[in-house]
Structure 1
Amino acid sequence: MLDYLVIAFFAFFGGIARYLLGAYLPSMGDFPIGTLAANLIGCFIFSWLVKQVLDDLDVSGRLVLGLGVGFCGALTTFSSFALDVMKLFSAGEFFLALIYLIVSIVGGFLMVIIGEKIYHKKAVTPDD
């Protein structure tokens, strides 16, 4: 039962962060910049903080669960991504839809790689 409460607590903050990104990022016409930003930031946070830093620090599994499933899960959203693609297609914005698909998928993978690279670069820096 405690796991559910931890996930819900962190999901509250992830959902708020997602809302704020969508509300305060400048509009680019029909292009869903808020969803794109939330998904890319979430990929980076999940890769760098949750899967790298916290695993190595051997912190509580509940903190990892809360930040990973709760915060990152609420911050990122596949359903909004899919809906945004369909809205672009329905509006006849085929080129924007294709750009959005490519940037979302490739960008997500790049954010994961960048998160891992940043962590591993720090981890292998020689001591002074």
Structure 2
Amino acid sequence: MNYVIVGLFAFLGGNLRYGVSLLFPKVNGFPIATLLVNLLGCFLFSWLVKHIMADRDMNGRLILGVGTGFFGALTTFSSFALDTIQLFQAGNIGGAFVYLLVSIVGGLLFAYLGEAVYHPKEGGEEV
């Protein structure tokens, strides 16, 4: 059953990622869509799945589906790696380094922000 749950949520996350790529096409080879979904995914995974859902004792399968399925399909390391290589191959060395820096530092920052905006009261409730 877990495979079905993960698969259904992955279908949704993957389709959202595809939709974002249609809304934000590459500009001079720079992968805006991949950067957006990865940064947003870092924040939302940290905030929503690791805090809100887990702290409210939501169903474990729902957490698995949203965390592994949806955010696993929405965010994508393989696209990040391929986009970086393509920027280098196109001779856009500066763009490749900017993309690497913003992706890595930004991803860590957004995950940190997802942790930081969560301030539970006593009893596990949000402020």
User: Same fold by TM-score, threshold 0.5 exceeded?
Assistant: yes
Letter in 1 for 2:16: A
Alignment of 1:110-125 (within 5 A): 110-120=109-119, 123-124=120-121
SS of 1:99's equivalent in the other structure is helix
SS of 1:119's equivalent in the other structure is coil
Q: Aligned partners of 2:69, 2:63: CA distance in 1, in Å?
A: 9
Runs of at least 5 residues in structure 2 that lack an aligned partner in the other structure:
123-127
Alignment of 1:1-128 (within 5 A): 2-25=1-24, 27-120=26-119, 123-124=120-121
> Hey, which of these two has a bigger chunk of helix by percent?
1
Query: TM-score, normalising length from structure 2?
Result: 0.92
Q: Aligned partners of 1:28, 1:118: CA distance in 2, in Å?
A: 32
The question of whether the paired residues in 1 share the 8 Å contact of 2:14 and 2:73 is answered with: yes
Question: Residues 63-113 of structure 1: CA distance to partner in whole angstroms, max 9, x if unpaired?
Answer: 110000000000011110000000000000000000000000001001111
Identity of aligned residues (%): 53
Q: Aligned partners of 1:86, 1:78: CA distance in 2, in Å?
A: 12
SS of 1:92's equivalent in the other structure is coil
Q: CA RMSD in A?
A: 1.3
Superposition deviation, residue 28 in structure 1: 2.4
Runs of at least 5 residues in structure 1 that lack an aligned partner in the other structure:
none
The question of whether the paired residues in 1 share the 8 Å contact of 2:25 and 2:31 is answered with: no
Give 4+ residue runs of structure 1 displaced > 6 Å after superposition. none
The question of whether the paired residues in 1 share the 8 Å contact of 2:10 and 2:70 is answered with: yes
